[in-house]
Amino acid sequence: MSVPVRVRFAPSPTGYLHVGGARTALFNYLFARHHGGVFVLRIEDTDRERSTEESTEAIYEAMKWLGLAWDEGPGVGGAYGPYHQSERLPVYAEWAERLLREGNAYRCFCNPEDLKARREAAMTRGEPPRYDRTCLRLPPGESDARVARGEPFALRFRMPDGETSWNDGVRGSVTFQNAVLDDLVILRTDRHPTYNFAAVVDDHLMEITHVLRGDDHISNTPRQIRIYEALGWTPPQFAHVPMILGADGTRLSKRHGATSVTTFRDEGFLPETMVNFLALLGWAYDGEREMFTLRELEEAFTLDRVSKNPAIFNYEKLEWMNGEYFRALPLAKRTDLVLEHLRSTKALPEAALADRAFLVKAVEAAGDRVKRPQQFLAYSAYLFVDRVDPDPAAWSDLAAKPGASGRLRKLADALETVDPFEHDPLEAATRGLAATEGVKAGEVIMPARIALTGKKVTPGIFDVMLLLGRERSVRRLRDAADRLEAASPAPAS
């Protein structure tokens, strides 16, 4: 490309950064990096009622967490600032005036109630709810006279007739009939610009070469192209990325689950996972490879591999992918993340967390089943209680095993003397007992598992014994035998 690539992510700070916005930010970032270009962050905060400082901060935070560093924008600066639209109001006023002077815009004095009533009437007549151009037809001089009387007015863009086409970087050729485009308001009565106008002015002045955004903006594009033309500017290249759907084929929303990037973070998803997963929403490399680091994506990302078709947000796949990244972390790092989670949720008393060496072993034992720190306790809670409270389903399995209590007692006896209390001798003792009893090893191991942990799915049984230690293991085995016998006394033998 001859001109250096400049792209922007231009969020409206009216809420948290949701996955759709994050995916747009990521694609822009990757496109810039791939082409050695510049990634700009611009805050579109001209909607005074809905924009908040808190959302702006939340957007920065989420982008930083994902590792999407911007080259120009808030906190970084750059030659094209300011990067908050609220600080650029005079710039928009100046270009709007120019459109007015040259007859490409006109003053509109219609008040919101009248507009609404007329729109509704048009719809009742089966006509499109467009602005009816009342103020375009004002007799000469009247517009100036009303301004002189201090009447408030908005500025409307005068949409030309005909049709508007562009060659979209994802969609190919797209055409809109101008008749469906309104004479849109570009400057409100309070002198604040509307999105379509401010975006054009900024994208031009910031020398944006490519506009990559969600396809919910596709019908804004012909409006924006007409504004570029009226100002004598060349539009950038547009590329509209496909929308993101939930598993049921409707647009992704809170009904489907979490949609905010920081919620995923708080649920224990890793930034590496999020970046990799978001990249695959509407982009694919070769239809096979799925695991990519951010650096690898910078290398691999091209627009020609972005799909026109909607992407499906698959929560199970996200979970799976996090498991892949989580298990690839060094054990010490996984332990840190588990510890951080247990601390922040106060899931366990602080004293239970004091023995780091023990936690490291517990995290190691829980192994691959743990895909997020949040799942650690589900497999490890038995380590942090005095007495296990077995899952009812596990307990009824145990209660249904004839001879279980006797075997638990014999295993307890064996564990009392096994020496050293280590993995292999524990295994030998357990298997030895099964052999003496003339049963399969599972007939000893399954009851022991439930007695020791209260659950059917746990880390390896000998790891469990090691983690619990001799005394606690023996006590739990006998405890379970006592409980089984109390519930259904063993037949006299």
Q: Is the dihedral of CA 320, 322, 326, 328 positive or negative?
A: positive
The b/e string for 97-125 (b: 16+ C-beta within 10 A; e otherwise) is eebbeeebbbbbbbeeeebeebbeeeeee
**Nearer to ligand GLU (CB atom), residue 68 or residue 338:** 68
Q: Is the dihedral of CA 47, 51, 57, 60 positive or negative?
A: negative
**Nearer to ligand GLU (CB atom), residue 143 or residue 196:** 196
Asked if residues 451 and 477 have their Cβ atoms less than 8 Å apart, the reply is yes
Asked if residues 292 and 278 have their Cβ atoms less than 8 Å apart, the reply is no
Q: Quick one: which segment of 8-16, 29-37, 129-137, 401-409 binds ligand GLU (CB under 6 A)?
A: 8-16
**Nearer to ligand GLU (CB atom), residue 195 or residue 301:** 195
CA triple 238-243-247, angle to 5 deg: 165
For the bound state, the minimum distance from the C-beta of residue 227 to ligand GLU, rounded and expressed in Å, comes to 13
The conformation of residue 18, written as its DSSP 8-state character, comes to: B
The conformation of residue 178, written as its DSSP 8-state character, comes to: G
Q: Does 217 interact with ligand GLU (rule: CB under 6 A)?
A: yes
Binding characters for ligand GLU, 144-183, by CB under 6 A (x = yes): ----------------------------------------
Q: How far apart are CA 234 and CA 170, in angstroms?
A: 19
Interacting positions 243-262 with ligand GLU (CB under 6 A): none
Q: Does 44 interact with ligand GLU (rule: CB under 6 A)?
A: yes
Phi/psi of residue 4, nearest 5 degrees: -60, 140
Which member of 96, 108, 181, 199 binds ligand GLU (CB under 6 A)? Answer: 199
**Nearer to ligand GLU (CB atom), residue 56 or residue 273:** 56
Which member of 6, 11, 156, 429 binds ligand GLU (CB under 6 A)? Answer: 11
For the bound state, the minimum distance from the C-beta of residue 282 to ligand GLU, rounded and expressed in Å, comes to 15
For the bound state, the minimum distance from the C-beta of residue 146 to ligand GLU, rounded and expressed in Å, comes to 32
For the bound state, the minimum distance from the C-beta of residue 340 to ligand GLU, rounded and expressed in Å, comes to 32
Which member of 5, 6, 7, 10 binds ligand GLU (CB under 6 A)? Answer: 10
**Nearer to ligand GLU (CB atom), residue 205 or residue 439:** 205
Q: How far apart are CA 310 and CA 215, in angstroms?
A: 10
For the bound state, the minimum distance from the C-beta of residue 223 to ligand GLU, rounded and expressed in Å, comes to 11
For the bound state, the minimum distance from the C-beta of residue 326 to ligand GLU, rounded and expressed in Å, comes to 32
Which member of 213, 226, 240, 334 binds ligand GLU (CB under 6 A)? Answer: 213
Could you tell me which residues come within 8 angstroms of residue 118 by beta carbon, excluding any fewer than 6 positions away?
110, 132, 134
Could you tell me which of 257, 105, 99 has the C-alpha nearest to residue 184? 105
Q: How many amino acids of this chain bind ligand GLU (CB under 6 A)?
A: 8
Q: Quick one: which segment of 6-14, 155-163, 415-423, 463-471 binds ligand GLU (CB under 6 A)?
A: 6-14
Q: Would you list the DSSP string of 29-64?
A: HHHHHHTT-EEEE-B----TTT--HHHHHHHHHHHH
Q: How far lies 383's CA from each of 65, 362, 389, in Å? A: 33, 8, 12
Q: How far lies 293's CA from each of 129, 301, 478, in Å? A: 47, 12, 50
**Nearer to ligand GLU (CB atom), residue 212 or residue 480:** 212
For the bound state, the minimum distance from the C-beta of residue 47 to ligand GLU, rounded and expressed in Å, comes to 9
**Nearer to ligand GLU (CB atom), residue 199 or residue 275:** 199
Strand-pair partners of 7? 39, 210
Q: Would you list the DSSP string of 223-269?
A: HHHHHHHHTT----EEEEEPPEE-TTSSBP-GGGS--BHHHHHHTT-
Which member of 7, 12, 68, 156 binds ligand GLU (CB under 6 A)? Answer: 12
Q: How far apart are CA 365 and CA 380, in angstroms?
A: 9
**Nearer to ligand GLU (CB atom), residue 106 or residue 238:** 238
Tell me which residues are annotated as active site.
Answer: 254
Q: Does 369 interact with ligand GLU (rule: CB under 6 A)?
A: no
Terminal-residue alpha carbon distance, the chain: 89
For the bound state, the minimum distance from the C-beta of residue 213 to ligand GLU, rounded and expressed in Å, comes to 4
> Binding residues for ligand GLU, per CB under 6 A?
10-12, 44, 195, 199, 213, 217
